[in-house]
Amino acid sequence: MTSNFYDALLRRRSEIEARYRSLTPKSAAMSIEAERVFPGGVTRDSIKRWPYAPFIESGEGSTLIDADGRRITDFWFNATSLPLGYCDPLVMEAINLQSSKGTAFFASNSPSVKLAQEVLERLDGADMIRFANSGSEAVMLALRLARGATGRDMIAKFEGSYHGIYDDVSWSVGPSADTFGDPETPTAVPESAGLPTALGRVLVLPFNDLAGSAAIIEKHAQSVAALIVEPVANRMGFVLPKREFVEGLRELCDRHGIVLVLDEVISFRVGFGGFQRELGVVPDLTVLGKVIGGGFPVGAVAGKSAVMMASDPSRTHRVTHAGTFNGNPMAMSAGLATLQQLSPAVVSKLNLLGEQLRSKLQEICEGLPLLVTGVGPLFKISAIGQKIENYRDSIRAHRPWEEVMSAALLNEGIFLTPRLQGCVATTTTAGEIDALSHHFEQVLRTS
């Protein structure tokens, strides 16, 4: 029965592809051009999709205009990084003003200090901050700070969690069932070619399993510098950790002197103080990105001064952190203009909008082998008929069905990821939510 449900849409794969190609001839031609200069046709792995990604010319509000002039309603907003939508007037005003003054200086600038103050006011227990140019860079810095502060080498991360492209977190992000080993002692599976060995550097833990995680940590406690965890597990389908799981991790880190790092690159927008406040846990370090840059490349590490001061340039033996564009005034100005608009009331409104969207999708999926997950403004539709609590649950989803459904929705002018992830922005309207719900239901009915 379940197989028949998924097969119905998959039988329309050729028809859906043909329609997409007829709608997007210019994107098709540009994809061929891109293949001549980029390996695989892209310079950013995550945007690749079947049969090819649309080329976007402009965006305003919640609307994208592609190379063929199609108007597409966006529900991903550059991987959640634009909570105010495209070309927000106050953000545009801020960056236009800064660009008239200069785009980069070999010196400090006031927007960086103001954005630092804005972020620190929102994070409980965070005393200091350093800016970088991406979430990946911020993760790299956070783990280096943890190693510098503790004098230890090993990093612990969770199976199925993505923390960017730094070597020591590029393990067991999306391992296959024939490689990931025993659930209580997951195998460290490389996500990429070209990685150094994980031996002595990386431990992989089972997500949402406190006892299993603690058992692994206990064996290596004196060697572990940092434990990094997502408050909202993105690649698993915006799965939430159990409260007792996160509380237990905090206690485990305290007991063994391990630096607890929360990766809030995506989840920071879920609450005014990030999702950590909703969970009631205060980390030693928080990794940030996306929304704090207002559409510009950005990353940050914020945390307790005891750890952050390991990067103080006045110290002789310290954690170094350079970067031509760290604290770039354009990104800082855009980020400040964004966060200043994300008041508690606006965040609550966004979260309510996300809840309403998930509710509509759940109603459509009732009785079908489909699961709607998410929190705040984030949502995902998974082709699975059971609850997801960890990575091993999530890989049972029928990913080919998700990919074809995403393409079918794109034909109707609705943009989600190939895995059917999405989010709302302040520019998302009730009519756009109704359109997503309508087209999703129509594709289901015709399959």
Catalytic positions are 162, 263, 290
Token readout for 201 is 């550097």
Q: Encode burial over 237-259: b for 16+ CB neighbours within 10 A, e otherwise.
A: bbbbbeeebbebbbebbeebebb
Half-sphere exposure of 258 (CA within 13 A, CB side): 29
Contact between 423 and 379 under an 8 Å Cβ cutoff? The reply is yes
Residues whose CB is less than 8 angstroms from the CB of residue 318 and which lie 6 or more positions away in sequence, other chains included: 148, 310, 311, 312
Please name the amino acid found at residue 132.
Answer: A
Cβ atoms within 10 Å of 323's Cβ, excluding its own: 14
Contact between 82 and 296 under an 8 Å Cβ cutoff? The reply is no
Residue with tokens 């997801």: 388
DSSP-derived letter for residue 54 is P
Residue with tokens 């603690």: 214
Helix/strand/coil for 342: coil
Helix axes 329-341, 110-122, angle to 10 degrees: 40
Token readout for 166 is 């730094």
Contact between 79 and 234 under an 8 Å Cβ cutoff? The reply is no
In Å, what is the CA distance from 416 to each residue of 72, 78, 85, 135, 374? Answer: 10, 10, 15, 21, 14
